Structure 1
Amino acid sequence: METSAAVESSATMSAFEVSKRPETAKLVLNSPKPPSLREELVGTVGKAFRPRASSGGRQPRWAWALTVLQCVFPVMQWGRTYNLKAFKSDVMAGLTLASLGIPQSIGYANLAKLDPQYGLYTSVVPPLIYAVMGTSREIAIGPVAVVSLLLSSMIQNVVDPATDPVAYRSIVFTVTFLAGVFQVSFGLFRGGSIRSSFWLAAISPLLSVILSTTAVYATRADKHGVKIIQSVHAGVNPSSAKQINLNGPHIAECAKIAIICAVIALTEAIAVGRSFASIRGYKLDGNKEMIAMGFSNVAGSLSSCYVATGSFSRTAVNFSAGARSTVSNIVMSITVFIALELFMKFLYYTPMAVLASIILSALPGLIDIKEACNIWKVDKMDFLTCLGAFVGVLFGSVEIGLAVALAISFAKIIIQSLRPQVEILGRIQGTNIFCSIRQYPVACRIPTVQTIRIDTSFLCFINATFIKERVIEWVREEVETSVEKARERVQSVVIDMSRLTALEEIHKELVTLGIQMAIAGPGWQTVQKMKLAQVVDRLGEDWIFLTVGEAVEACLTAHKGAAMEC
């Protein structure tokens, strides 16, 4: 729908035949009351898990409950058609995934300033939770480099992991718990070809660990200055529930770090999931992904895990290995669990340099120069935001980079709100369509009627003065240039405000100038706000139209002598 304001001098009002207005315009004022804020919030939360309506009518209560459970746990839906062939593919993908995930998890734990086993813990519990709640078939859940670095760089400013590792781990688990809660909240409130030799790249990190560990053990290189992992605690994930402290002195810092980690983790996971979902030709539910990721991290925080998300490198391996469902995550989780139980003692002589090389091998994929060039071509302001984030992280920290990006984004929004684009509209010949005469030079202007569009979704005291001054300035210019041609003199102004929700300020200004305003096709929320603010009473129901064309026709009819030339 379009919202327009047609303004006309009061001297010609008596000539206007309001009784001949289209009956369809009455639909505007008779529209139902829009949902309240509470109803919108409840509806928003409900949409996260609301099942699709049954085409066969109302469902029995048990069937409705089953449908809701299938929405919450997608595994109950696709599990009914799961077959042995898909299971074989998922087992192979899961084993391949584990061969990459085990050394990566150990390396990322070191990046997060945690003992190696905590990286492996993070590859056990979160993938299991995601497997029953997530909607992506290919995404691989576990620790990632960006989040690991983010945690260590921000938490070590609060507690030094070298001097107080217990307090450091407590903050890590608290941040993970809060990040999971934030992710669940976000979800509830709705914010080429692959070479057949891919498996060689997938298992190369594991081969590097095995060969380097064997070499160090055989040559006793640790006696000659080569740093090694040394002891890695074996066994199942211990409980960390008692280490989560929501009443501690650092809870404010934990919340700040958690929301940053939650946003970055979700951004990476959803971007990765949607990329591979588009290749496979199915739709990824972003809200359910947020909820699944959130519950994965909440459960992980209770079992000695830190923030987990979808890894691009492991997801690419999972996809290339032929994963058919999230069962590959379950297979990977079980494989890592077995490794924790049986093989940790063999990692004693693993050199730290190999873990560092595994981390560095993942870094080139974080810099996408081609995409940066594409952003520059499409939107210079978006490129400036990207550049600000890059420079902030490079010369400051991840936190500073995010702050710079957010500041630039908000500045862009504020600038666009303060000085919105104001365009003169014309009519496409032979149609009832009005568009910018700058964008479409073939559009012709209507004699005696000035039609203006204001491109903003937010009209308030911040930009109301600018908009009013611009409109009045154009009207006066038109009047001055046509002062000697009374027939072509501007007598009406149509303001296309299809994106505006506030009209009272403009109405007051026009009243002081002795000009009558008419509204055309206001939106659902706009009608209710006009009624509550008594704008409809002051304006009069006879001056509310359904379309811009009706408003223009009304103005021309009121002038009696004017006619539409296009």
Structure 2
Amino acid sequence: MAVVAVGCLYAYLGHGEKHGIAIVGDLKKGLNPSSIHYLNFDRRYLPATIRAGVVTGLISMVEGIAIGRSFAIIKNEQIDGNKEMIAYGFMNIIGSLTSCYLTTGPFSKTAVNVNSGCKTPMPNVVQGFCMMLTLLFLAPIFSYTPLVALAAIIMSAMLGLINYEEMYHLYKVDKFDFAICMAAFFGVSFGSMDIGLLLSVGLSLLRALLYVARPAACKLGRLPNTSLYRDTEQYPGTMSLEGILVLQLGSPVYFANCSYIRERILRYINEEDAVTEYRTEHILLDLSGVASIDMSGIHTFIELIRVLKGKHIKLGIVNPRIEVLEKMTLAKFVDVLGKQAFYLSIEEAIQSCRFTMDTSTKEEAWGSSKTEDVV
């Protein structure tokens, strides 16, 4: 208030508007008039209204939730996004009937409230009452308020919100998160709140798409003297299995990543055959981490069966989730692969594969000895 009072007094006495000092300008006393009579549901205007409403609504939703969560993290509190949206919607519906423009929880006002020690929504009621009195009686006085004074108030509140230690922590832990943070910071600083939000949300969506398109997959090996199977890169001491390749998929299988998964599996087979003297005869896919699968993913697995059959490799599925198994059953994938190729655990699948390999070896040996006897 001291900054505003001094700024108003200086601009008024020195005629700041004549010397290039930007001021708020003419402010008329009184409250906004009712705008109910302007409501028009003519279908000629509905398409433009709906488009503008959807865009502004989405921006307001993202901005409001982002602001609420950022301050909730600072105060170690939880917010309910649904309640936030209900509050914004109710506020804008009532405001639209009194000539108000679209609004959300503004970042500057929220920052001022937080730095002032506000704990409940009651300060908003007090501020609204004071604003009403100002509009009714004191509006012309504030017409001389320099814009630089308002900017100084906002900047002083903003500087206390910059957490340099957290930014450095993000840089050390995850460079991509740091890039998102910097994009939001510079977008808001040199552009606007909308630009900062669009940049940060856009980069976050890009990262999510990259994770979906390039899902995690790893080769599993058995830990010595145990029946546990873990990632061979994370646990270098794991033991490889002769003729059996165990792979684990860790994300849903969709049309966006099914081709990559197929290529990745075939690459694992080629790498395994290149570094070991045993030919891969069985490949087991641990699907315990696959939450869902679509028809493109199922068709990819069917195509994979055909490719593996040409290489004389048998495919086994380990511990699929109920949603995945139901969809595979409805799509007849279980009939194509065979029920005997589905296993509850990796150890059970390994034992079955070894039994099949031992049986095949004995049959080949018996066939060779029989041929020698005939000769």
TM value normalised by structure 2? 0.74
Deviation at 1:448, TM superposition (A): 3.2
Letter in 2 for 1:492: H
Aligned-partner SS, 2:33: coil
Equivalent residue for 1:495, pick from 264, 285, 304: 285
Q: Structure 2 matches for 1:71-110, cutoff 5 A?
A: none
Q: Structure 2 matches for 1:26-45, cutoff 5 A?
A: none
Aligned-partner SS, 1:493: strand
- 2:103 counterpart residue number: 307
Contact 1:270 1:289 survives alignment (8 Å) = no
Deviation at 1:268, TM superposition (A): 0.8
Tell me whether 1:316 sits opposite 2:114 in the alignment: yes
* Residue-by-residue CA offset, 1:108-127 (whole Å, 9 max, x unaligned): xxxxxxxxxxxxxxxxxxxx
Tell me whether 1:474 sits opposite 2:272 in the alignment: no
Q: Which structure 2 residue ranges, 5 or more long, are not aligned?
A: 361-375
Contact 2:72 2:78 survives alignment (8 Å) = no
Deviation at 1:241, TM superposition (A): 4.3
* Residue-by-residue CA offset, 1:124-166 (whole Å, 9 max, x unaligned): xxxxxxxxxxxxxxxxxxxxxxxxxxxxxxxxxxxxxxxxxxx
Equivalent residue for 1:338, pick from 133, 147, 152: 133
Equivalent residue for 1:546, pick from 317, 325, 344: 344
- 2:240 counterpart residue number: 445
For 1:370 and 1:224, the matched residues in 2 are separated by 45
Tell me whether 1:530 sits opposite 2:315 in the alignment: no
For 1:457 and 1:389, the matched residues in 2 are separated by 30
For 1:244 and 1:427, the matched residues in 2 are separated by 71
Contact 2:230 2:238 survives alignment (8 Å) = yes
- 1:261 counterpart residue number: 60
Equivalent residue for 1:559, pick from 327, 335, 357: 357
Deviation at 1:550, TM superposition (A): 2.6
- 2:8 counterpart residue number: 213
* Residue-by-residue CA offset, 1:451-483 (whole Å, 9 max, x unaligned): 1123433343x5434333332343345446555
Q: CA RMSD in A?
A: 3.7
Deviation at 1:367, TM superposition (A): 5.4
Contact 2:112 2:154 survives alignment (8 Å) = no
For 1:386 and 1:254, the matched residues in 2 are separated by 28
For 2:280 and 2:214, the matched residues in 1 are separated by 25
Aligned-residue sequence identity (percent) comes to 27
* Residue-by-residue CA offset, 1:43-79 (whole Å, 9 max, x unaligned): xxxxxxxxxxxxxxxxxxxxxxxxxxxxxxxxxxxxx
For 2:190 and 2:144, the matched residues in 1 are separated by 35
Assess, with a 3 A threshold, how the Cα gap between structure 1 residues 283 and 400 changes in structure 2: closer, same or farther.
closer
Alignment: residue pair count: 344
Assess, with a 3 A threshold, how the Cα gap between structure 1 residues 395 and 451 changes in structure 2: closer, same or farther.
same
TM value normalised by structure 1? 0.52
Give the structure with higher Rg (CA). 2
Aligned-partner SS, 2:67: helix
Aligned-partner SS, 1:309: coil
* Residue-by-residue CA offset, 1:472-530 (whole Å, 9 max, x unaligned): 343345446555xxxx5533221223226234422332245334433222223212211
Contact 1:232 1:347 survives alignment (8 Å) = yes
* Residue-by-residue CA offset, 1:294-318 (whole Å, 9 max, x unaligned): 3333333333244131544233235
For 1:293 and 1:430, the matched residues in 2 are separated by 60
Contact 2:282 2:316 survives alignment (8 Å) = no
Assess, with a 3 A threshold, how the Cα gap between structure 1 residues 359 and 411 changes in structure 2: closer, same or farther.
closer
* Residue-by-residue CA offset, 1:147-198 (whole Å, 9 max, x unaligned): xxxxxxxxxxxxxxxxxxxxxxxxxxxxxxxxxxxxxxxxxxxxxxxxxxxx
Deviation at 1:263, TM superposition (A): 1.1
For 2:323 and 2:137, the matched residues in 1 are separated by 63
Deviation at 1:265, TM superposition (A): 2.5
* Residue-by-residue CA offset, 1:224-279 (whole Å, 9 max, x unaligned): 54555454333444334455778278544564344223312221123213432x2x
Letter in 1 for 2:357: H
Deviation at 1:533, TM superposition (A): 0.9
* Residue-by-residue CA offset, 1:527-550 (whole Å, 9 max, x unaligned): 221122111232333433223333
Tell me whether 1:519 sits opposite 2:317 in the alignment: yes
Assess, with a 3 A threshold, how the Cα gap between structure 1 residues 248 and 291 changes in structure 2: closer, same or farther.
closer
* Residue-by-residue CA offset, 1:180-227 (whole Å, 9 max, x unaligned): xxxxxxxxxxxxxxxxxxxxxxxxxx122233334555x363585455
Q: Which structure 1 residue ranges, 5 or more long, are not aligned?
A: 1-205
Larger RCO, structure (CA 8 Å, separation 6 or more): 1
